[in-house]
Structure 1
Amino acid sequence: MNKREGAMQLPRLEVAGVDAWLVRLFDDIDDANMPWIMALLRRCEESFGEALIDLVPSYTTLLVHYDPLQLTPGEARSRLAMLLADLDPGEDGDQGEGTSDNVKELQVWYDDSVGPELSLLQEHSGLSREAVIEAHSGQEYHVFALGFAPGFAFMGSLPKELVLPRLDTPRKRVPAGSVAVANRQTSAYPRISPGGWNLIGRTSARLFDRERDGFSLLRVGDRVRFVAVDRDRFEKAGGDTTPAEERGPNASRKNS
């Protein structure tokens, strides 16, 4: 597993319980990790078959949960070792690096009323309002993991000029659809919830729907692009224009 130059590390297999192995493919978060993780995920699906219970990918790892009645820990480990021996992220045509037809687009209304930290991000970056919006919406992001809340997708990586620490004091109520940034990540809140990320806009997309197959609009391995729209187009798409809660003058920030 040494076909990519740069940050590739040798994979490590770590015990994650009596019925799970954690495969650590990388030590550092990097956009280029995703094709390798998704290649291993597909191989596990094929190799483990009915013995597979669940696969949980993240930025640097893949958790493999299997049925201990069908496989012993040693057998599962040996199977993973074989899959890793000649792992190739280019072994099929869909490794998270597909064509633009596979990119999921989320329409976003970037505005201070729904994104109170938009002006803060402008000050922090030294960019104009238009440049901040262009920087955030001008690239594709990979969905590295799902978590925190159903449908909440951790996406990266942000351009360096948009990196901003999380709020030290989280909001008690973040409106559904709020588009936010924190450190090198960006996401959108699928439902009303507490949250400590910096709000910069809002999407009209329905990110979590119990009637949808799989519930979540976004899945690990997806590529996502945010598309800036004006208020009129946002409202016509069903977007909620209710102002977000302000941080407050005494809110501080985390340093990491």
Structure 2
Amino acid sequence: MVRNRASIYPIGDKAITVKFGDEISPEINGRVIAFAQYLSKQVVDGIIESVPTYTDVTIYYNPLILSYEEIKRRIQGWLNQKMTYQIENQRLIYLPVLYGGEYGPDLDYVANYHGIDREEVIRVHTSIDYRVYMLGFAPGFPYLGGLPEILHTPRLEKPRVQIPAGSVGIAGKQTGVYPLSTPGGWQIIGHTPVPLFEKKEESNPILLRAGDLIRFVSIDLIQYEQIEEQIRKGIYQVQIERIERMSGYEN
């Protein structure tokens, strides 16, 4: 149990933000996600959606149905309750990655920048589980926390016009995966054949969600092509482990 401290303030006339802290940390982000999950179970006419970020939850509402004063009063009531519940179904997702070469054109730069070899970059990058703090920038783009300091690398001086979907990159203190082909300035060190965004999956097109853990797994070209073929045939299964974690608030 942790004591719930949060500030509430308006974002224009159709949204309100609940802020749980100022630093990026698993504890604060866990409270964000847990509150967002609690909020999703509340049936309130006028609430459109809620969006969790690193430290905040922003709630969008219809001001013709729900006034700012009313939504703020409800939020204060929720925050003042003693609540204990699970961060439900936290998942550990294994993402296979082919590092270097045409699939990771900036791997050598990252290695040279830190004075280590390519193999050490790969070893370090695959050595920990990364937390999905939030999704943004493009549909399904995961902002991951926990990149070891030895791999902190500046963005490209000149962003690329197009980065292929599935590209795994590093930018500053973060690592991430491009779900769509978009412009970008991250250092690309590898590529996963596993799609993070599939438009044809209308009910659930995004693979990842805030609170997930990601573990990158280094693969070779033969394995990469085998996975690609399995995906084309519709028989590939993403490896996912489910982890139960507890989180809660105490007023």
Q: TM-score range by the shorter chain?
A: 0.7 to 0.9
- Structure-2 residue corresponding to 1:164: 153
Distance 1:134 1:86, change over 3 A: farther
Q: Tell me how far 1:48 sits from its aligned partner.
A: 4.4
Asked if 2 retains the 8 angstrom alpha-carbon contact of 1:45 and 1:52, the reply is no
The percentage of aligned residue pairs carrying the same residue is 34
Task: Return the alpha-carbon distance in structure 2 between the equivalents of residues 49 and 82 of structure 1.
Answer: 13
Runs of 5+ unmatched residues, structure 2: 230-251
Q: Deviations over 1:80-139 (max 9, x none)?
A: 112223566xx223257x4xxx21111100113221221121122333322211211111
Task: Return the alpha-carbon distance in structure 1 between the equivalents of residues 82 and 130 of structure 2.
Answer: 24
Q: Tell me how far 1:56 sits from its aligned partner.
A: 0.9
- Structure-2 residue corresponding to 1:140: 129
Distance 1:138 1:236, change over 3 A: same
Q: Secondary structure at the match of 2:29?
A: helix
Task: Return the alpha-carbon distance in structure 2 between the equivalents of residues 21 and 37 of structure 1.
Answer: 14
Task: Return the alpha-carbon distance in structure 1 between the equivalents of residues 199 and 180 of structure 2.
Answer: 12
Q: Tell me how far 1:60 sits from its aligned partner.
A: 1.2
What TM-score, normalized by structure 1, do the two folds share?
A: 0.82
Distance 1:115 1:196, change over 3 A: same
Does residue 34 (structure 1) correspond to residue 29 (structure 2)? The answer is yes
Paired residues in the alignment total 228
Equivalent positions of 1:63-142 (< 5 A) are 63-86=58-81, 91-94=84-87, 98=90, 102-142=91-131
Q: Secondary structure at the match of 2:215?
A: strand
Q: Secondary structure at the match of 1:14?
A: strand
- Structure-1 residue corresponding to 2:232: none
Q: Deviations over 1:26-79 (max 9, x none)?
A: 111123322101111022122344432111111111101123233211111011
Asked if 2 retains the 8 angstrom alpha-carbon contact of 1:152 and 1:187, the reply is yes
- Structure-1 residue corresponding to 2:41: 46
Does residue 174 (structure 1) correspond to residue 163 (structure 2)? The answer is yes
Task: Return the alpha-carbon distance in structure 1 between the equivalents of residues 117 and 77 of structure 2.
Answer: 52
Asked if 2 retains the 8 angstrom alpha-carbon contact of 1:142 and 1:222, the reply is yes
Q: Secondary structure at the match of 1:84?
A: helix
Q: Which has the higher contact order (CA 8 A, sep 6+)?
A: 2
- The worse-fitting range, judged by mean Cα deviation, of 47-56 and 68-77 is 47-56
Does residue 17 (structure 1) correspond to residue 12 (structure 2)? The answer is yes
- Structure-2 residue corresponding to 1:215: 205
Task: Return the alpha-carbon distance in structure 2 between the equivalents of residues 16 and 146 of structure 1.
Answer: 19
Task: Return the alpha-carbon distance in structure 2 between the equivalents of residues 126 and 32 of structure 1.
Answer: 33
Q: Secondary structure at the match of 2:197?
A: coil
Task: Return the alpha-carbon distance in structure 1 between the equivalents of residues 6 and 183 of structure 2.
Answer: 36
Task: Return the alpha-carbon distance in structure 1 between the equivalents of residues 169 and 64 of structure 2.
Answer: 43
- Structure-2 residue corresponding to 1:3: 2
Task: Return the alpha-carbon distance in structure 2 between the equivalents of residues 86 and 157 of structure 1.
Answer: 32
Asked if 1 retains the 8 angstrom alpha-carbon contact of 2:100 and 2:106, the reply is no
Q: Tell me how far 1:225 sits from its aligned partner.
A: 1.2
Asked if 1 retains the 8 angstrom alpha-carbon contact of 2:100 and 2:108, the reply is no
Q: CA RMSD in A?
A: 2.1
Does residue 234 (structure 1) correspond to residue 229 (structure 2)? The answer is no
Does residue 195 (structure 1) correspond to residue 187 (structure 2)? The answer is no
Kindly indicate which of the two structures has a greater share of residues assigned to strand. Answer: 2
